[in-house]
Each structure stands twice: as C-alpha cells, then as structure tokens.
Copies of this chain bind each other. A is one copy, B any other.
Amino acid sequence: RRGEMAKSTQLIDNEVFRAFATYTAIVLLKMMLMSLITAYFRITRKAFVNPEDTASFGKGESAKKYLRTDADVERVRRGHLNDLENIVPFVGIGLLYALSGPELSTALLHFRIFTGARILHTFAYLIPLPQPSRGLSWAVGYATTFSMAYKVLKTAWLL
C-alpha cells in the first residue's frame, strides 16, 4: 500500500512539478470563472441564445425578445475564448517543460509571470482598460509560453 502511494505521488513530490500543478490549477480555475461571469451577464442583461433558456420568461414573443446578443456578454465570451487559445498551450507546453528538468527558480519565474499576465489580461478585457494593457498582458503570457517551448524542444528534440 505505502509503496504504491509513494509511486503514485512521485511526480507530485518533485518541486517543479508541484509549482506547475499549483499555477495550472489557478489559471484553469480562472478560466472556469469566465463561465460564471458569462452566466451572470446573461441573466442580469437578459440576453440568451437558446430558446429553452428563456422559457421561464413566458411563451412566444414575450420570451423571444430575450434571445439577443449583449455587448457585455460577448466581451466576456471573447475573453473566455482568448483564455482557451492561450491557457491550453501553457498547460500542454508547461507540463513538458516541468518534466524537462528546469531550475525551480526559473520554472517559478515562468509560471508566475504567465499567471500574473493572464489575470491582468482578464481585468484589462473585462473593465476594459485602455490599450495597450490587454495587448501587452497577452504578449507577456505568449512570450512566456514560447520561452518554455524553446526549453522543451532543446531538451526533448526527437523528430
């Protein structure tokens, strides 16, 4: 039993992997939060896309008027899609990076910068802050993932 546990927690005992697990969980939870914010705006703005979602507002025309797009809902949805486009590469490349044997301090630097940049990006998108806030926070996260990909390819390269 204990031997099995030890085996199963092997990776999680590695400090770089623990850091990766922590930041990945945080950044994925942040992404999941976008679903709740979308739902919040859909309900408060009464802007839905599926007819079955407006059934509680009555039948026919009275419900149909809530099948509409809303600028705030669309803004959150764009932020959510941007998260998917950027956090998916971070999680995939970050996992390989964490297994490529980087220094803990270097790894922490990458994970912290990426996570900070994506949190800033969300605020910049949702408030919204004037440009280039959103553009810069996006670029910093992008460059961080690129830097990890470089380390992965340098370490693992087998084409």
Contacts and interface: CB of A to CB of B under 8 A. Distances in A.
Interface of A: 4-5, 7-12, 14-19, 21-26, 28-29, 31-32, 34-35, 49-50, 52-53, 55-56, 75, 78, 80-81, 84-89, 91-93, 95-96, 99-101, 128-131, 134, 142, 145-146, 149, 152-153, 155-159
A81 B133 CA distance: 24
Contacts of A8: 14, 16-17, 99, 101
Contact of A85 (B18, B80, B128, B159): B80
Contacts of A153: 22, 25-26
A21 B85 CA distance: 19
